[in-house]
């Protein structure tokens, strides 16, 4: 099992049920060196059409910046479903280290992704 850090809609049980067919196990954690941003909802997004915007994690590199969220336990199949869910809004999955020290995946809007 892998960890997927969510700071937005993937934390919601309804989104998890629609996407994965079940709710996911997770623990509170935080993403340091990032702040919250916003991205317009993608046209044709039927799960999140009612939202005014998507949340986005914008890298700052400053250790005092943090985004609270949930580290979700996911399988490789779950990650593939999440990739499909996030890609229409130009989100990409990147590896990060969370405040707990755990390694996890997180989705960020492509143009604001951290340098590799």
Residue 42: is its pLDDT beyond 70? no
Q: Average model confidence (pLDDT) for the chain?
A: 86
Which of 27-31, 42-46, 58-62 has the lowest average pLDDT? 42-46
Q: Output the pTM of the full model.
A: 0.83
Phi, psi of 24 (to 5 degrees): -100, 150
Fold (topology level) of 2-110:
Hypothetical upf0131 protein ytfp (3.10.490)
Reported confidence tier of residue 111, pLDDT bands at 50, 70, 90: low
pLDDT at position 51 is: 64
Give pLDDT tens digits for 8-25: 889 999 999 999 999 999
- pLDDT band, very low/low/confident/very high, at 87 (cuts 50, 70, 90): confident
Q: Which helix (H) or strand (E) holds 77?
A: helix 76-86
d(CA 84, CA 68): 24
Which residue in 88, 13, 50, 81 sits closest to 105, CA to CA?
81
Average of pLDDT values for 39-60?
A: 69
Read off the pLDDT of each residue in 51-78 and give the average, rounded to a whole number: 89
Rg (CA), the chain: 13
Residue 31: predicted pLDDT: 96
Average pLDDT rounded to a whole number, residues 45-49? 56
Burial class (CB in 10 A: 0-12, 13-18, 19+), 42: middle
Domain ranges in the chain? 2-110
């Amino acid at each position: 099992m892998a960890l997927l850090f969510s700071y937005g809609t993937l934390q919601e049980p309804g989104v998890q049920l629609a996407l994965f067919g079940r709710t996911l196990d997770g623990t509170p954690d935080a993403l340091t060196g990032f702040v919250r941003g916003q991205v317009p909802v993608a046209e044709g997004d039927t799960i999140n059409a009612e939202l005014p915007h998507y949340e986005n994690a914008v890298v700052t590199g400053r250790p005092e910046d943090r985004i609270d969220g949930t580290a979700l336990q996911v399988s490789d199949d779950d990650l593939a479903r999440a990739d499909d869910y996030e890609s229409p809004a130009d989100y990409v999955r990147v590896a990060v280290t969370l405040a707990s020290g755990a390694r996890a995946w997180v989705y960020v809007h492509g143009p604001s992704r951290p340098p590799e």
